[in-house]
Amino acid sequence: MNLISKRIRGMQDILPGESEKWEYVENVLKKKSKLFGFKIIRTPVLEHTNLFERTSGETSDIVKKEMYTFLDKGERSVSLRPEGTAGVLRAVLENGLHDGNLPLKLMYVSSCYRYEKPQSGRYREFFQFGLEIFGGKSALADAEVICVAKSIFNDLGIKNLELEINAVGCKECKSAYNKALENYFIVHKENLCELCGDRLERNPMRIFDCKNDKCKNICKNAPTVLEYLCAQCALHLEHLKEYLEVFNIKYRVNPHIVRGLDYYTKTVFEFIINSGEAPLTVCGGGRYDNLSKELGGADMCAVGFGIGLERLLLIMQDQKLSFGGNSNIHVYVIPLGETCKNKSIEISQRLRNIGIATEQDIVGRNLKSQMKYANKIKCDYCIFCGNQEIENNTVKIKNMSAGNEFTLNLDEDFEKYFLNLTNSKLQ
């Protein structure tokens, strides 16, 4: 085909066959989160650029290299969201959701956009599931969002999963720690990559994000943030450890986790997959108590996490995990002649009205072709409706997997029969 346009590099089409896997995973994410009291929020894909500059940090790779930013027709700088938290917090403050009872628990599935090099499991358009708790000051809020994530991974059957936690401190802790990092990295400045040389001047903690092997080796002996925590931040970390033990969640303290966004305070954490190769982060998050004030809002503590759905689905496929069997009965209705078409429509609607997925021919296939099509779309049952069946108020039904046929009356037992089939399949 000589198409006038093709998919933009780094974007993705999620086609039938794959979309069912996405639907299954998203349903597990939402269902489990609702058990902890989270409610869905949806925010715009387009925001004013300064929202992300203030929240992500001007020194972050997201702002410096990855955002899709442009001027709209009003000559205003706008950006496609690179992550979900900033837009959610903006919506909370703008709509006064924080003025009611706190804590406020929100969840979302959002498309996000970053101009990165496309590779396996990483796209320029990607989808993120996130949870946010606003107004939860205690370390128990941190432990609860971690518990939600762990519960989700348990339900999905994810294996080889490890939780790593760290504390990045408050503003006072960070100030002292950044000074120590400056003193350490300046000795190694000549061996840092160009980007990390710039980070040293602006925000030395960002050097821990570097993928350059030389920089990674230099980071190994750098001072750790745990040495510079104030008493309050150190106590918050100890409380988090206690709560995780109560939740029976194993963890490891990794003092080099800083996360890729500048707004984090106190707790940061990652769930990683260790399968013999390089560790793979499947979920990351933490606390961001100062972000509300950064946006001009009230002083409001917050904690949350994000899960990249593409990576999560890849992990599930690599671990050969189930995406849930199809528990729906699928029926195909075939009229035996043009005069029976209206009756077949009526039968189809009766089944749809009780929640049974039902299809019929809409392209003009003959009987043989309709049977081939029913096989191709893997229908469970075919229903045949002819003049004789109409006279007797019956239909013929074929079980497509077993191959047997039988007659069923179209009285009230017709619906009951298919409801019973559905219940049996669910069990």
Domains 19-170+230-318 and 330-426 share a fold: no
The per-residue pLDDT for 327 is: 65
Kindly report the pTM of this predicted structure: 0.87
Structure-token match 């001007």, residue found: 58
Q: For the chain, which residues make up each domain, given as ranges?
A: 19-170+230-318, 174-208+215-221, 330-426
Rounded Cα gap, residues 427 and 411, in angstroms: 26
Quick: pLDDT tens for 49-108: 999 887 765 555 566 678 999 999 999 999 999 999 999 999 999 999 988 789 999 999
Give residues with Cβ within 8 angstroms of 226, minimum separation 6.
166, 167, 237, 253, 255
Quick: pLDDT tens for 335-382: 999 999 999 999 999 999 999 999 999 999 999 999 999 999 999 999
The per-residue pLDDT for 202 is: 79
Locate the DSSP E strands across 295-380.
302-308, 330-335, 357-360
The per-residue pLDDT for 214 is: 87
Rounded Cα gap, residues 105 and 102, in angstroms: 8
Structure-token match 């049977």, residue found: 371
- Which residue numbers in the chain have pLDDT < 50? none
The per-residue pLDDT for 61 is: 59
Rounded Cα gap, residues 162 and 253, in angstroms: 11
Q: Are strands 265-273 and 280-287 parallel, antiparallel or unpaired?
A: antiparallel
Rounded Cα gap, residues 290 and 283, in angstroms: 22
DSSP string, 255-290: TT---S-TT-EEEEEEEEE-SSSS-EEEEEEEE-TT
Three-state secondary-structure class, residue 106 = strand
Rounded Cα gap, residues 23 and 133, in angstroms: 24
Short-list 165, 181, 168, CA closest to 222: 181
Three-state secondary-structure class, residue 9 = coil
The per-residue pLDDT for 60 is: 55
Structure-token match 């903006």, residue found: 90
The per-residue pLDDT for 261 is: 63
**Domain made up of 19-170+230-318: CATH architecture:** 2-Layer Sandwich (3.30)
CATH class of the domain defined by 330-426: alpha beta
